[in-house]
């Protein structure tokens, strides 16, 4: 893809988010957009957001790490995106839906790192060793593409549909919980919308994080001390309507909750 085209794609994605409007999918328009180009676009988009929104990188997110999400989106492999400080929302509060196009919510497990994780053959055990604590999280995703429909490469360019993230307040060492069997109950307005266990995320969320560490190493990137990494959704994502209240209860890790409203 030519540099000039890439710049305009970055601009389109940036403006779509800012102006709360959708774009047609790129993949059909730019058949040459391979995975590497899609991550190039993501990198430029993140850089632009840091500059124009006066923010900095706070971590990473995995996408499409569970069968529920892959089937929902018709995609068969994971992706990653970058989290910024200004994407963080407080747990337990009500948030305005004004900045979102067609937001969805999904429960995830967040890993917060106490060491850098650098290298190309990172194992899940190294991820566990470098993790300070894990904490229940919600991710608000919002695709900049029409009808929330995209190819894997479209979504990668769009920073893996990232929008906001919410961390809970019960921190625990990953050694202290079972990273496969920990159960999750996801409720919307009091009704159970999904149940799962952490094994839904590639068998074990530490496997997903290790996958990402090795994937970003190919682009000379690494997880840094202090960064947060979202595992990828543990259940399917649920559309957010005004007035909705969500909770996710994690076995041994407590509950997180949040709600959404119209207006400011």
Residues near Mg ion (CB under 5 A): 139, 233
For residue 124, with 0-12 CB atoms within 10 Å meaning exposed, 13-18 middle and 19 or more buried, which class applies?
Answer: buried
Stretch touching ligand OOG by CB under 6 A, among 41-49, 56-64, 111-119, 166-174: 56-64
How many residues sit close enough to ligand OOG to count as binding (CB under 6 A)?
A: 14
Q: CB of 241 within 8 A of CB of 215?
A: no
Under rule CB under 6 A, residue 154 binds ligand OOG: no
Stretch touching ligand OOG by CB under 6 A, among 39-47, 135-143, 182-190, 218-226: 135-143
CB of 144 to ligand OOG, least distance (A): 10
How long is the chain?
Answer: 264
Q: What does 73 bind: Mg ion, ligand OOG, none (CB cut-off 5 to 8 Å by kind)?
A: ligand OOG
Retrieve residue 140's tokens. Answer: 């608000």
Count other Cβ atoms within 10 Å, centred on residue 188.
17
Retrieve residue 121's tokens. Answer: 């053959």
Q: Print the binding letters for residues 57-76 with ligand OOG: x by CB under 6 A, - otherwise.
A: ----x-xx----x---x---
Retrieve residue 30's tokens. Answer: 């730019």
**Dist. CA 32–CA 5, nearest whole Å:** 11
CB of 258 to ligand OOG, least distance (A): 16
CB of 141 to ligand OOG, least distance (A): 5
- Find the binder of ligand OOG among 42, 131, 143, 249 (CB under 6 A): 143
Q: CB of 231 within 8 A of CB of 105?
A: no
CB of 230 to Mg ion, least distance (A): 6
Q: CB of 140 within 8 A of CB of 89?
A: yes
Under rule CB under 6 A, residue 139 binds ligand OOG: yes
Nearer to Mg ion, 109 or 130 (CB): 109
Distance of CA 249 to the CA centre of its chain: 19
Under rule CB under 6 A, residue 130 binds ligand OOG: no
Nearer to ligand OOG, 231 or 249 (CB): 231
Secondary structure letter of residue 117 according to DSSP: B
CB of 79 to Mg ion, least distance (A): 10
Q: What does 160 bind: ligand OOG, Mg ion, none (CB cut-off 5 to 8 Å by kind)?
A: ligand OOG
Secondary structure letter of residue 224 according to DSSP: P
Q: CB of 201 within 8 A of CB of 216?
A: no
Retrieve residue 118's tokens. Answer: 């650098």
**Dist. CA 246–CA 257, nearest whole Å:** 6
Residues that bind ligand OOG (CB under 6 A): 61, 63-64, 69, 73, 106, 139, 141, 143, 155, 160-161, 232-233
């Amino acid at each position: 893809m030519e540099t000039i085209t890439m710049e305009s794609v970055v601009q389109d994605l940036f403006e779509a988010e800012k102006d709360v409007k959708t774009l047609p999918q790129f993949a059909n328009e730019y058949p040459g957009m391979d995975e590497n180009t899609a991550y190039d676009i993501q990198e430029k988009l993140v850089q632009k957001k840091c500059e124009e929104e006066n923010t900095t990188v706070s971590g990473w997110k995995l996408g499409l790490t569970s069968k529920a999400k892959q089937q929902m989106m018709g995609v068969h492999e994971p992706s990653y995106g970058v989290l910024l400080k200004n994407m963080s929302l407080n747990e337990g509060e009500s948030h305005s839906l004004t900045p979102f196009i067609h937001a969805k919510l999904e429960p995830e497990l967040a890993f917060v790192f106490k060491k850098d994780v650098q290298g190309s053959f990172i194992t899940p055990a190294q991820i566990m060793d470098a993790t300070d604590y894990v904490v229940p999280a919600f991710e608000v995703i919002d695709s900049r593409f029409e009808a929330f429909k995209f190819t894997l490469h479209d979504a990668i360019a769009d920073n893996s549909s990232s929008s906001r993230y919410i961390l809970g307040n019960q921190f625990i060492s990953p050694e202290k919980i079972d990273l496969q069997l920990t159960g999750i109950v996801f409720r919307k307005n009091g009704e159970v919308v999904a149940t799962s266990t952490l094994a839904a995320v590639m068998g074990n969320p530490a496997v997903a994080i290790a996958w990402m560490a090795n994937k970003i190493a190919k682009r000379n990137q690494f997880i840094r001390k202090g960064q947060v990494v979202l595992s990828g959704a543990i259940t399917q994502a649920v559309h957010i309507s005004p007035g909705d209240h969500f909770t996710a209860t994690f076995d041994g890790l407590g509950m997180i909750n949040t709600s959404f409203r119209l207006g400011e």
